[in-house]
Amino acid sequence: LKPIEWKKDSLLLLDQSLLPFQTVWVKLTDPEGVASSIKNMQVRGAPAIGITASYGMVLSVRGDNLDEAISSMRKAKAVLDSARPTAVNLSWATSRMLEKANLAVEQGEVKDVNELRELMEREANSVFEEELEAELKMGIYGLEKINSGDAVLTQCNAGGLATGTGLGTALAPVKLAHALGMDVSVFAPETRPWLQGSRLTVYELMTDGVKTTLITDTAVGLVMYKGMVQSVMVGADRILSDGHVYNKIGTFKEAVIAHEMGIPFFALAPTSTFDMKNRVEDVKIEERDPNEVRYIRGVPVAPAEVEVYNPVFDVTPPKYVTGIITENGIIYPPFEKNVRKIVER
C-alpha cells in the first residue's frame, strides 16, 4: 500500500474519502489542488498531511527567477496552511520547506529555479523518508512484543494510510511480522463514528495481505475475555509526560479491559507526539458534529432531534499503559521518570 506517490511533476494521492468503496487516485499538479485535497479529507492523518503539504510546496516552485519562485512558495504556504488550520503537521511541513528554500537562496546554494525545485524535491523526499524511518524503528521495537500465532487488537486507523508512508505506527509491528513470514493477524474494531476501522484499517491490511477480522466496537470486550488477542496496539494523538495517552475515542475501554484481562496494551507514536508541558486537567477533548452519530454515510440511524455527545478522543491513564513504543525505544512505567529519558535524548 502506497497512498502517496511523487511523480516528479505531479503528486498522486489515493482518495481516502472514497475508500474502501472506490479506489480513486487524484493527480495534483499545483499547490491549490493539494490544498483542496487536504481540505476534502482525500488525505488524512497528521504525518500524511505533512508529507502531502511538503510535495505541495515542491509544486509551487514556479517563476522566471528565484525571487518569483520564493514569492510563489510563500503564497502556496498560506493556501496550504489554511486548508486545515488545526493540523500542526501541515504548517510544520510548509514552514520547513519555505525556510530551507529561503536559506538556500540567501546562501547561494541554488543558482536557478530548477536547482531550487530539485532541492525542494529532495527536502520533501526527506520528510517522507524520516517519517518512514521512524515508523520502521517503531515497528522493529514493537516486533519484540509479537510472537508467531498472535492476534493484535487495534483501534481506528494508525496505519500507513494515516501516515502516508504505507506502513503506519500502531500497525507497523504486525506488518513487519507479516513481512517476516510470522503468522499474525489483527482484530479491527469498526470505530464509530467515523468507521476508520471498517473503512481504512481493514482495507489497508487486506491490501497488504495481513489476516484481519472486523468487529463492532461492542465486541472488543468479548474478544479479550475469550483470549482471542494477545496484545493491544494503538496509535496516539498526544501523550503527556506522565504517560496519559490521548487517542481516538474507544481506546480507553480497550486499555481498561486489557489491564483487567492481563493483556499488554501499547501505544505507538513518534516522540513528536509527546506534549511535555500540559497536564491532564489542561487538555480539552474535542467534540464534533452530533450528526456524525445520528447518520451513517448519510443514512439516519436515530431520531433526528436526539441529543448527542460526540467526543473524538479519549484519554487513557498511565495505570493502563504497558508501554509506549517510539522511534527511540520502548518507554515503560514509571512514565513520570522514563518519558523524559527517551523523548529528550
- Region class of 303: left (phi > 0), else alpha (psi between -120 and 50), else beta: beta
As a whole number of angstroms, the distance between CA 203 and CA 123 comes to 30
How near is the Cβ of 206 to a second copy at its closest, in Å?
Answer: 6
Reference 58, options 127, 106, 124; nearest CA is 124
Q: Which stretch binds a second copy (CB under 8 A): 56-64, 173-181, 307-315, 331-339?
A: 307-315
Question: Residue ranges of the alpha helices (H) in 86-201?
Answer: 88-106, 113-143, 160-163, 172-179, 196
With respect to a second copy, which residue has the nearer C-beta, 139 or 250? 250
Q: Name every residue whose Cβ is closer than 8 Å to that of residue 282 and which is 6 or more positions away in sequence.
A: none
As a whole number of angstroms, the distance between CA 207 and CA 189 comes to 18
How near is the Cβ of 335 to a second copy at its closest, in Å?
Answer: 18
Radius of gyration of the chain, Cα coordinates, nearest whole angstrom: 21
- 257 binding a second copy? (CB under 8 A): yes
- 1 binding a second copy? (CB under 8 A): no
For a second copy, the binding residue among 16, 165, 212, 273 (CB under 8 A) is 212
How near is the Cβ of 153 to a second copy at its closest, in Å?
Answer: 11
Q: Which stretch binds a second copy (CB under 8 A): 2-10, 60-68, 109-117, 215-223?
A: 215-223
- Region class of 49: left (phi > 0), else alpha (psi between -120 and 50), else beta: alpha
* Cell numbers linked to 159: 496505519
- 306 binding a second copy? (CB under 8 A): yes
With respect to a second copy, which residue has the nearer C-beta, 122 or 211? 211
How near is the Cβ of 247 to a second copy at its closest, in Å?
Answer: 11
Site for a second copy in 226-245 (CB under 8 A): 228
How near is the Cβ of 128 to a second copy at its closest, in Å?
Answer: 27
Site for a second copy in 146-165 (CB under 8 A): none
Reference 247, options 188, 170, 322, 151; nearest CA is 170
Question: Residue ranges of the alpha helices (H) in 228-306?
Answer: 251-261, 291-294
What is the dihedral sign for C-alpha 74, 76, 77, 82? positive
- 256 binding a second copy? (CB under 8 A): yes
Q: Which stretch binds a second copy (CB under 8 A): 101-109, 142-150, 203-211, 231-239?
A: 203-211
For a second copy, the binding residue among 66, 220, 263, 321 (CB under 8 A) is 220
For a second copy, the binding residue among 6, 214, 275, 333 (CB under 8 A) is 214
With respect to a second copy, which residue has the nearer C-beta, 282 or 307? 307
- 76 binding a second copy? (CB under 8 A): no
As a whole number of angstroms, the distance between CA 258 and CA 189 comes to 15
For a second copy, the binding residue among 291, 310, 328, 338 (CB under 8 A) is 310
- 302 binding a second copy? (CB under 8 A): yes
Reference 156, options 258, 235, 237; nearest CA is 235
For a second copy, the binding residue among 88, 300, 332, 336 (CB under 8 A) is 300
With respect to a second copy, which residue has the nearer C-beta, 85 or 303? 303
* Cell numbers linked to 115: 536547482
Enumerate long-range contacts of 205-211, CB under 8 Å, 24 or more apart: 205/159, 205/171, 205/175, 207/1, 208/1, 208/175, 208/178, 209/178, 210/174, 210/175, 210/178, 210/184, 210/185, 210/186, 211/184, 211/185, 211/186
For a second copy, the binding residue among 62, 294, 329, 340 (CB under 8 A) is 294
Burial class (CB in 10 A: 0-12, 13-18, 19+), 306: exposed
Q: Is 237 a catalytic residue?
A: yes
Q: Which residues are catalytic?
A: 237
Task: Using CB under 8 A, list all residues that contact a second copy.
Answer: 20-21, 187, 189-193, 195, 198-199, 202-203, 206, 211-223, 225, 228, 248-250, 252-253, 256-257, 259-260, 285, 293-294, 296-303, 305-311, 314-315
